[in-house]
Structure 1
């Protein structure tokens, strides 16, 4: 069954087009001639035709049915070629045959219904799966991708779309065997690997400090260096603790007899000899050793400080440095302070050898500085290793990043996979059931077609058509099977001559429609008699009189009844007509029921050469032609100026002139003053002119003010003629019979 259709970009259907949705089993479309009905039926007859490429038909369950269209093209296609294709029906079938085929058809419908249910379930499950995929896709995109996009963008190359990222994440969950690293480690490596191609970095020179430590631990610094104690003067020097003082004063008495202390000539050769013996060779050696070791220490310290200053300066200027230069500088400042203290102590020791000193140990601080350099060099080696093997390192890093991302949302992934697996199982099971029903359906359908071949005949259709023709007075021609061509009909006169070319338009229309009805019940093929179908009927009574109109509507009403009751192979009817009486007759249900859920109504209009459609759902918008005129007048936004003129003229003619026997002068004279009478006269002239002629270029456009003025005068005519209540009823009434009081009109016409 057709659920909806859209037709556009063809004939009077514009680019936006017309959409007809919520189609039911029975559908009535009313429209005047030229509004686009034939274009619509031609589209339904062959929707795949190139000119209808922008239009579409949507079938229930995406299961198309055979569509049989009756319109002008149907008549031209089937009549005028001398013979007519025969229609196979169950003409030779016995009661048992018909019952057997009917039973199989019922079973086939049940299988089809089950298949449709499975198809719906499959669509729902597929939608659920798609919804779950979309939800998961959005979740990991915003919670994972967006969170790490800045740091790991290089690892996301090729998957910078939601769907691709989702698929990669699930694949990594199943396949990634990398070890798990922290996000901080990954970011650090990524800064190196994902940036510019890393260059090889030179190692930072190590600084030796072992000798400095040895010198700082030298025992001589704490040793008191003094002369011989067994010399006569030695006891006095040591007793007075003047060792360093006397040693320093020796420089002043080398070639001088004057004592540098008392300034008396007391320096004798014997005194000089005793001093020489006191400050013997051992004293001299130890004193010299102190000087030598001090000089070595100072030189090593100077080298150490120069090295640290050079490292600090170089690394601060290196944007790729791996050394914490600020901490390094602080450590160097501390050890420099320690060196300064030791320098002062050494100077004191050189000046006063008898004084014992203890140098500050810089070993711990030097070790810390050295470890800082070692740690920086370790990072440099790692960097250089990465630089040397950048391709392999990048691959490993990307794998590590995805492993981290998987672990970040592992529970979400597992829940999603579990849900999708469950849906996949249900989808596969439903699909298997649907496919099994399809196989069962095809087998039974083939069986029905084979049964139809054995009991179908074209004669039954011939008999039925001739019976109807005879019943309604068409006795001067008949339908007969061709004696030369199998499955062909001939239209013959009473003298057996071909009658097709001499039939009147009304006769051709009637017999064509009877042929169409037989085709609806059967088929041109023996095997397709029982095939489900949709009927599309466009104005079947265009040239027929009222008697034939009644029989056509009766035949269609029987089809409508069968469709509603689910009897037979016809499942849907779309009927289009411009004849209001026929529309009313064929759509009549009964005297008590006003609506039916299987029935839908539309009005198709054309304004400014553009077709539009208005849905009235289950409420029939057309009761008779007079009420339709009022409904059109109320919907003035949908009408052109000419349509408004024609509508007003027909209302006045029907109500006042035909029923009430009034003339134009009676209407004009109902106004009291001459000015109003002239306005009324201009209205009558306006509506007569607009409804009987096409305005020239000077009057092709109607101003809104003019239309509104005549709407006002139109109402005043009813008011002045004492029929305002009728005007208000018709303008306020949407649907139903107008209840025209003819007797109330006639007395006024006598006066």
Structure 2
């Protein structure tokens, strides 16, 4: 059974289309000519010809679709028709075998449907395929979150899969299954990625590590701890040592050389012997030490300046592997240390006898050296990577994916376990479906073979001819034709072909009867027991109005067959533009206002040249006949139009539908009432466009009330009081001596359907 239709991109339907959902066993679709009904029937008949449209079947089980529409009439009405094979009357055992074979086919189809339901799901039951799809959607979302977390750092590693959830997920799953790379810390991978994937990557220069050996040597000289003084064996040496003013004396000698023979301090004459003794105190060893200290001052300053300049050059040149802040800190510490030692050395130079202690910079120099050596190691590694960039990028990419796989390990393991279970279930179901489909093919072939043995086209000829005769079509009939008697042709009573001389109504009716019998048969020797969907698209087009109820009665028989427990008809669609036909074919005495569980109602409209479909929870079609009665019930009715409204009701109810004898009705009245009644029926006879005497078209309130009273009395006098009160929504009052109106047959040869006519006549005007 069809549970949903999408009609799009054909005829007057938009590209987005219309969805017809919630379809049931019986579906009524009403729409004016040209509104888009036939497009619906064509999609059902040939979905492959409408790629933008779609049909969703219950349990994904397509059924055979038999569609009656203008295409069917044009395709089948010709000089000869394919014969319709039906099961004949044969040995009961053979029929039992056919019934059992059909049951076997149905059982296998149910098994297939049940497995398809488990596989594909329905409504709240997702099905294994949907369950697997949900697992896939979830893992794609989780992998995409992983991608978004690391995309900024690893764009190059993600190249080719960055723009697609599905592709990125596939890559993760592939790496999860096969990646054997080593696991590295995430921060390490980020640093390497920033280099390896850099565009225009070039070699780095090795950093020249400044030599601190000279500074360390000078800082370790023992002279800083030595008191540089003169000879102690000179008689004046004791006094100098006791006073500890040798540095003062040494400086004073320079002044004494300028003031000789006077002392530069006390301005007394100094003995030549004293000057000699002072000179002897500052001997050659002392002078050597003083010279060493002087050289030490210059050497330390030069070595320190060179060392600091080398560090400044490294800082200025820069390198991706040198932490600028760390290097700046080291330079500042070295500068401070060297400056402090320079002060100590300057003091030693000024006061040779003083003992000074220099800052030991050995560890600081080692720290600088280690810092630069580590940077050079990174430079060497970088240059090696540049020289082998292709392999480096390949290896790093693998390590990055390995890192991501490890990060998502829990999620991936859970997905794999769930998917393995679902895949096992799906594979099992699909394997069983393959077996079942093979069994179905075998069972169907068995059924076809049994059907071929007892099928015939003759029963259909007999039945259609009987129907044609009973409905008054006596000028032509069907006859078997063809070499094997498996074709039909339409012939006159003298045997001549009548296909070219039939009226449009006759063509339509005979083709409809052909289709009606095709529903229960097949154009081949097998297949008449297959389940099917039936579509009637405007089956009364070009038919006379008096055949309308015949067609509707036959279609209602199809409805009944669709409700049979083991019936072949699974679903029926009725599409029409005729209000009266819709009213008759959809009539259901058990339906209240809301539709029944097995039916749906739709209206198709064309708005701005675009077709739209609207569903209703009740039968939305009210006949114009009902609308006329609503005007009579309206207290604010128009006095100018009420007479015409009454005329149209009488015309519809008594003349068109009841084929009444108006004179018998007029005779039931006397005097002025008879005149008014006759005037009403004269309008029926003359039509609504003739000119009448002012007596009969006066529009004052009193005259209108008189017409309304006679209008009511007509129904009472003819025994149709119940109908009047039903349409007016009032309670019926019993009328004495009221005789039912005589309903005559609307066409010759129609007496045997009189009871059906009366039944339809009563129902077709009853509000629903």
Structure 1 residue 444: Cα displacement: 0.6
SS in structure 2 of the partner of residue 574 of structure 1:
strand
2:644·2:688 contact (CA, 8 Å) conserved in 1?
Answer: no
Q: Which residue of 2 aligns with 1:78?
A: 76
Q: Which residue of 1 aligns with 2:109?
A: 112
Mapped to 1, the partners of 2:632 and 2:40 lie a distance apart of 26
Q: Which residue of 1 aligns with 2:123?
A: none
Structure 1 residue 535: Cα displacement: 1.9
Mapped to 2, the partners of 1:174 and 1:72 lie a distance apart of 60
1:89·1:461 contact (CA, 8 Å) conserved in 2?
Answer: yes
2:256 counterpart of 1:267: no
Q: Which residue of 1 aligns with 2:4?
A: 4
SS in structure 2 of the partner of residue 5 of structure 1:
strand
The alpha-carbon distance between structure 1 residues 341 and 527, as it changes in their structure 2 partners (threshold 3 A), is same
> Of residues 188, 193, 200 in structure 2, which corresponds to 1:190?
193
SS in structure 1 of the partner of residue 453 of structure 2:
helix
1:92·1:456 contact (CA, 8 Å) conserved in 2?
Answer: no
Mapped to 1, the partners of 2:51 and 2:700 lie a distance apart of 46
> Of residues 68, 84, 88 in structure 2, which corresponds to 1:87?
84
SS in structure 1 of the partner of residue 151 of structure 2:
helix
Mapped to 1, the partners of 2:706 and 2:382 lie a distance apart of 104
Between 1:101-110 and 1:185-194, the stretch displaced more is 185-194
1:259·1:267 contact (CA, 8 Å) conserved in 2?
Answer: no
Structure 1 residue 449: Cα displacement: 0.8
Q: Which residue of 1 aligns with 2:24?
A: 24
> Of residues 137, 142, 146 in structure 2, which corresponds to 1:144?
146
Q: Which residue of 2 aligns with 1:371?
A: 370
2:417 counterpart of 1:415: no
1:564·1:598 contact (CA, 8 Å) conserved in 2?
Answer: no
Structure 1 residue 526: Cα displacement: 0.8
Mapped to 2, the partners of 1:658 and 1:568 lie a distance apart of 38
Structure 1 residue 448: Cα displacement: 0.6
Q: Which residue of 2 aligns with 1:669?
A: none
TM-score, with length taken from structure 2: 0.75
Q: Which residue of 2 aligns with 1:97?
A: 94
The alpha-carbon distance between structure 1 residues 196 and 620, as it changes in their structure 2 partners (threshold 3 A), is closer
Mapped to 1, the partners of 2:254 and 2:700 lie a distance apart of 146
2:360 counterpart of 1:361: yes
Once the two structures are superposed, the pairs formed by residues 199-348 of structure 1 within 5 Å of their partners are: 199-251=202-254, 256-268=260-272, 270-271=273-274, 273-275=276-278, 277-312=280-315, 314-315=316-317, 318=318, 320-348=319-347
Mapped to 1, the partners of 2:11 and 2:370 lie a distance apart of 89
* Deviation sequence 1:21-49 (CA, Å, 0-9, x none): 33322223345556554554455444444
Q: Which residue of 2 aligns with 1:453?
A: 452
The alpha-carbon distance between structure 1 residues 533 and 329, as it changes in their structure 2 partners (threshold 3 A), is closer
Structure 1 residue 459: Cα displacement: 2.4
SS in structure 1 of the partner of residue 570 of structure 2:
strand
> Of residues 56, 59, 65 in structure 1, which corresponds to 2:57?
59
Mapped to 2, the partners of 1:573 and 1:507 lie a distance apart of 24
Structure 1 residue 286: Cα displacement: 3.5
The alpha-carbon distance between structure 1 residues 232 and 589, as it changes in their structure 2 partners (threshold 3 A), is closer
The alpha-carbon distance between structure 1 residues 495 and 283, as it changes in their structure 2 partners (threshold 3 A), is closer
The alpha-carbon distance between structure 1 residues 210 and 650, as it changes in their structure 2 partners (threshold 3 A), is farther
1:75·1:512 contact (CA, 8 Å) conserved in 2?
Answer: yes
Mapped to 2, the partners of 1:305 and 1:179 lie a distance apart of 43
SS in structure 2 of the partner of residue 431 of structure 1:
helix
Once the two structures are superposed, the pairs formed by residues 368-517 of structure 1 within 5 Å of their partners are: 368-472=367-471, 477-482=476-481, 484-503=483-502, 506-517=505-516
2:164 counterpart of 1:164: no
1:201·1:384 contact (CA, 8 Å) conserved in 2?
Answer: yes
Structure 1 residue 453: Cα displacement: 1.3
* Deviation sequence 1:274-317 (CA, Å, 0-9, x none): 445444443333343333344433332232233334434x24xx
* Deviation sequence 1:661-685 (CA, Å, 0-9, x none): 9xxxxxxxxxxxxxxxxxxxxxxxx
Structure 1 residue 592: Cα displacement: 7.8
Q: Which residue of 2 aligns with 1:641?
A: none
Mapped to 1, the partners of 2:622 and 2:65 lie a distance apart of 29
SS in structure 2 of the partner of residue 28 of structure 1:
strand
2:508·2:542 contact (CA, 8 Å) conserved in 1?
Answer: yes
Structure 1 residue 144: Cα displacement: 2.2
Structure 1 residue 132: Cα displacement: 2.6
Where do 5+ consecutive residues of structure 2 fail to align? 121-126, 634-640, 655-661, 663-686, 691-698, 713-724, 736-768
1:44·1:67 contact (CA, 8 Å) conserved in 2?
Answer: yes
* Deviation sequence 1:513-567 (CA, Å, 0-9, x none): 3322222211111122223222222344556667755554443333321211133
The alpha-carbon distance between structure 1 residues 56 and 311, as it changes in their structure 2 partners (threshold 3 A), is closer
2:7·2:52 contact (CA, 8 Å) conserved in 1?
Answer: yes
The alpha-carbon distance between structure 1 residues 648 and 150, as it changes in their structure 2 partners (threshold 3 A), is farther
Between 1:243-252 and 1:408-417, the stretch displaced more is 243-252
Mapped to 2, the partners of 1:521 and 1:215 lie a distance apart of 120
Between 1:412-421 and 1:290-299, the stretch displaced more is 290-299
Q: Which residue of 2 aligns with 1:521?
A: 520
* Deviation sequence 1:90-110 (CA, Å, 0-9, x none): 115322212211122122122
Mapped to 1, the partners of 2:455 and 2:294 lie a distance apart of 135
* Deviation sequence 1:165-206 (CA, Å, 0-9, x none): 222222222222333333332332233333342333323322
Q: CA RMSD in A?
A: 4.2
The alpha-carbon distance between structure 1 residues 274 and 581, as it changes in their structure 2 partners (threshold 3 A), is closer
1:92·1:457 contact (CA, 8 Å) conserved in 2?
Answer: no
2:629·2:728 contact (CA, 8 Å) conserved in 1?
Answer: no
Mapped to 2, the partners of 1:18 and 1:649 lie a distance apart of 43
Higher helix share: 1
The alpha-carbon distance between structure 1 residues 299 and 648, as it changes in their structure 2 partners (threshold 3 A), is farther
1:633·1:648 contact (CA, 8 Å) conserved in 2?
Answer: yes
Q: Which residue of 1 aligns with 2:742?
A: none
Structure 1 residue 272: Cα displacement: 5.0
Mapped to 1, the partners of 2:222 and 2:402 lie a distance apart of 60
The alpha-carbon distance between structure 1 residues 633 and 590, as it changes in their structure 2 partners (threshold 3 A), is closer
SS in structure 1 of the partner of residue 128 of structure 2:
helix
* Deviation sequence 1:410-429 (CA, Å, 0-9, x none): 22222222222222222222
Mapped to 2, the partners of 1:659 and 1:512 lie a distance apart of 30
Structure 1 residue 16: Cα displacement: 6.7
> Of residues 626, 647, 650 in structure 2, which corresponds to 1:653?
647
Between 1:233-242 and 1:117-126, the stretch displaced more is 233-242
2:12·2:609 contact (CA, 8 Å) conserved in 1?
Answer: yes
Mapped to 2, the partners of 1:98 and 1:247 lie a distance apart of 147
Q: Which residue of 2 aligns with 1:729?
A: none
1:89·1:529 contact (CA, 8 Å) conserved in 2?
Answer: yes
Structure 1 residue 157: Cα displacement: 1.8
1:37·1:538 contact (CA, 8 Å) conserved in 2?
Answer: yes
TM-score, with length taken from structure 1: 0.77
Mapped to 2, the partners of 1:716 and 1:350 lie a distance apart of 146
2:629·2:727 contact (CA, 8 Å) conserved in 1?
Answer: no
Between 1:438-447 and 1:64-73, the stretch displaced more is 64-73
Q: Which residue of 2 aligns with 1:599?
A: 599
SS in structure 2 of the partner of residue 29 of structure 1:
strand
Structure 1 residue 231: Cα displacement: 3.7
SS in structure 2 of the partner of residue 738 of structure 1:
helix
User: How many residue pairs get matched?
Assistant: 667
